[in-house]
Structure 1
Amino acid sequence: MNLNNRWLALSIGNTHHYWAIFRGRKLIKTWKEINQLSKTFQPLYSQNTDYLLDPHSHQWPELWLASVVPQETKKWLDYPHLHLLNLADVPLQNCYPTLGVDRALGAWGAGVTYGWPVLLIDGGTALTITGVDATQQFQGGLILPGLGLMAKSLETQTAALSSLNFNWETIPPLWGNDTPSAIQAGIFWTVLSGLDRFIQDWLQEYPTSQVTFTGGDGEFLKAGLLQFQPKYLSLPCHLDPHVIFWGIAALGQQDP
């Protein structure tokens, strides 16, 4: 990677494309787009020409891509300057073969940014926890449906429920007084109780660990956890929506 040039990072998740523009090591801009149905990258790219086209060379810059959606990945394989990242590219040790590259990159980005050991809590479509020790050894984690997906499962699998459009920005009361508020409270506070249990277990083993929240629900989960358990106020607890981009950037800087 030429650190004097503009380059792009793209993380493709289950529902969105997450973009970042860098100039060398400096993050310039981030944004997201809903995954689309086009068969090639050109329609997606042309919508963002003002952002993506290098204003000096007028050429397509290097693109560092991490994706967990194979059909979306295929759209970018003909991109002229593509670096397609896989799990083997991330320097974490002891990873199981099907560990998502997004989890690995996020944990790597959190570790190189805030220090090791690190526990990464990613509140996305799926809610994941990823633990890495001081020697960059993957120690395990968990995957469960995210807040929105839990609500959606009740909405689609329960006959008597209508559409549930929750505001996942306001912490709900512990006890709901109608069906929607009871569902929201049940999802949120049960998830927080689980997070608390796993964080406590991790910190018993790695008491100097950094704890980092990311993902669309990351800020909401962090705020709720600190309200639920004020003891975490004294811990190195971070909120960073860009950890996967820091992970990609760290790999790019190692590339000749």
Structure 2
Amino acid sequence: MMLLAIDSGNTNTLFAIHDGKNWVGEWRIGTDATRTADEFAVWFYQLMNMAGLDFKEITDCVISTVVPQSLFNMRNLARRHMGVEPIIIGEEGVEIGIGVRIDQPQQVGADRLVNALGAVTKYKGPLIIIDSGTATTFDIVSADRHFEGGVIAPGINLSMRALHEAAAQLPRIEIKKPDHVVGKDTVSAMQSGVFWGYIGLIDGLVRQIRKEDGRDFTVIGTGGVASLFEGSSETITHYDSQLTIDGLYEVWRLNK
């Protein structure tokens, strides 16, 4: 058995291979809804070959995407180049393993439900899942495995780009923890504002959620830049970069 899990976000698309016991490879490519199944196949075949894995041994595929326009080509990748019918998160008949307890259940992104499933499989609820991507999301998952809503804020990269594009004299900067909160030049001042601003956003929202809700949440950080906050956030208790693909594996297991 060899499972291909695809998580297509607004900025990047992650391809990961599970051999039945462990994740044995992960690769990322910029999300582009116009990229064809053939282009995906050439790119992915080469990367698998470099990792010593055989493209032809893929037996299963599970796909989560928040970019509907890209689904057609990813589905064709699985069908035409792998001979596999993929499991698509959100399609009728696909079991997610998570209840949805909000006013508009159909509005919940596939990535948030997959994260919720990955989290409840590994951690005791209730949970707050903080996913730092294009957007920074705070998702509430109950101890009885129900998604109960959340908070959506602009992502850290989006905020940095907006700062650069809106102010002519502010440069593009890398995300890093500055040596001091008060910057002595433009770059360090921007880095401090972005880094410590997001720490304040994260810790402030978690405290407010706990105050309003009253439950003792376990807080999990995941997503592309979450590891940057390790050791700085006072509220995140676990950092888990594999939360989404672990959720995809669980969806595959439930439906297989």
TM range (shorter): 0.7 to 0.9
Q: 1 CA distance for matches of 2:195 and 2:242?
A: 24
Cα 1:100–1:37, aligned 2, differ >3 Å: closer, same or farther? closer
Q: Give TM-score, length-normalised by structure 1.
A: 0.84
Cα contact 1:54–1:60 (8 A) shared by 2: no
Does 2:30 correspond to 1:23? Answer: no
Partner of 2:140: 131
Structure 2 letter corresponding to 1:186 = G
Q: CA deviation at 1:206?
A: 2.0
Matches within 5 A, 1:64-83: 64-78=62-76, 79-80=78-79, 81=84, 82-83=86-87
In structure 2, do the counterparts of structure 1 residues 89 and 158 end up closer, same or farther at CA, with 3 Å as the change threshold? Answer: farther
Amino acid across the alignment from 1:251: V
Task: State the alpha-carbon separation in 1 of the partners of residues 219 and 197 from structure 2.
Answer: 20
From 215, 219, 222, give the equivalent of 2:223.
215
Matched with 2:60 is 62
CA RMSD of aligned residues (A): 2.4
Q: 1:86 aligns with which of 76, 90, 98?
A: 90
- 1:154 — aligned with what? 163
- In structure 1, C-alpha distance between the alignment counterparts of 2:99 and 2:246, rounded to whole Å: 15
Write out aligned runs for 1:226-245 (5 A). Answer: 229=234, 232=235, 237-245=237-245
User: Mapping of 1:23-62 within 5 angstroms?
Assistant: 23-36=19-32, 38-49=34-45, 51=48, 55=54, 58=56, 60-62=58-60
Cα distance change, pair 68–169 in 1 and its aligned pair in 2 (3 A): same
Identify the match of residue 9 of structure 2 among 9, 13, 20: 13
Unaligned runs of 5+ in 1: none
Tell me if structure 2 keeps the 8 A contact 1:41–1:76: yes
Q: Is the 8 A contact 1:7 1:24 kept in 2?
A: yes
SS in 2 for 1:129: strand
Greater displacement, 25-34 / 14-23? 25-34
Three-state SS of the structure 2 residue aligned to 1:77 is helix
Indicate the percent of aligned positions where both proteins have the same amino acid.
24
Determine if contact 1:124/1:215 at 8 Å carries over to the other structure: yes
| Per-residue Cα deviation, 1:104-128 (whole angstroms, up to 9, x for no partner) | 1112201211222111111112111
Partner of 1:247: 247
SS for the counterpart of 2:195 is: helix
Preserved contact between residue 2 and residue 20 of structure 2 (Cα < 8 Å)? yes
Residues 54 and 195 of structure 1: is their aligned pair in 2 closer, same or farther, counting only changes over 3 Å?
closer
Q: Does 1:174 align with 2:147?
A: no
Q: Which moved more, 1:11-20 or 1:79-88?
A: 79-88
Q: Which residue of 2 aligns with 1:184?
A: 191
Letter matched to residue 215 of structure 2: Y
